[in-house]
Amino acid sequence: MRIILDTANLADIRYFNTHFPIEGVTTNPTILSKEGGDVLALLREIRAIIGEEKELHVQVTETEYEKIIEEAKAIVAFLGKNTFVKIPATDVGLRATKTLSDEGYGITVTAVLTATQAMLASNAGAAYVAPYVSRLENICADGVGTVAEIAEIFATSGTDTQILAASFKTAKEVLDVAVVGCHTATVGSEVMHKLLSHPTTDTSIAGFAADWNKAFGDTTLLKLLSK
Ligand code: G3P
């Protein structure tokens, strides 16, 4: 399952883009508002950090059909190729998704809470649908099960629409959606760290270093091979 970073924090984007195999960055109005300041400069800097080949997902803030179309085109003109426009799963959103997808724009239908919303978004031509896993789990609904339903529906229909699962509070949720056939997950910084870190990995590495140093001192294989 592909992984995207769900933040607009520049330090985090620089770190994860350097160290983790991420495919891009997703934002939304809440994520951008956390950083504040000049939002266009922020988006331009995110694009500069990840480069033009990785995905950058930016959500519309307009709510009327004509304005959404105008805003979506302006976002892509500003941020270049591999920019996906996030549009919420509403009636107006579906209409805008159909229009923009027909014109070749990559649309991520977001705030998806049900498999029927995902099905309609796919029928409207969305490149991605973004089901909110943790927001469902938080209200005793089945976030992972909803992703599984969407995966099954998409497999049956043979649609090109991909699942971009979002809203994760635990690493286990990320694992669970991967197991049920999710294509891509967008993960915030805190959970991203939890996908990798493990205390036994740390103690194992410390053990290797201690054993090596005891036997060979402060040399390394590189130093020995470079002689
Ligand atoms: O990008 C949208 C989604 O990830 C929202 O996450 O944590 O606000 O539920 P959250």
pLDDT digits (tens, 9 = 90+) for 161-177: 999 999 999 999 999 99
Between CA 122 and CA 146 the distance in angstroms is 15
In tens, the pLDDT along 6-26 reads: 999 999 999 999 999 999 999
Catalytic residue from among 34, 54, 73, 86: 86
Average pLDDT over the chain, rounded to an integer: 98
Share of the chain above pLDDT 90, in %: 100
Q: What is the mean pLDDT of residues 69-89?
A: 98
Known catalytic membership, residue 172: no
> Once rounded to an integer, what is the mean pLDDT over residues 86-103?
98
User: What confidence score (pLDDT) does residue 31 get?
Assistant: 98
Tell me the mean pLDDT in the region 129-140: 97
134 touches ligand 1 (CB under 6 Å): yes
Q: Domain spanning 2-196 has what CATH number?
A: 3.20.20.70
Cβ contact 110:130 at 8 Å: yes
Phi, psi angles (nearest 5°) of residue 218 = -95, 15
Q: Which two tokens stand for residue 227?
A: 């002689």
Asked if residue 183 lies in contact with residue 2, where contact means CB atoms within 8 angstroms, the answer is: yes
Q: What is the residue with the minimal CA distance to atom 10 of ligand 1?
A: 167
Distance between CA atoms of 97 and 65, rounded to whole angstroms?
10
Is residue 107 classed as helix, strand or coil in its secondary structure? strand
- Can you give the pLDDT at residue 65? 98
Element (H, E) at 193: helix 189-196
Distance 43 CA to ligand 1 centre (A): 18
Q: Ligand 1 pocket, 6 CB below 6 A?
A: yes
Distance 53 CA to ligand 1 centre (A): 24
Alpha carbon nearest to ligand 1 atom 6, residue: 167
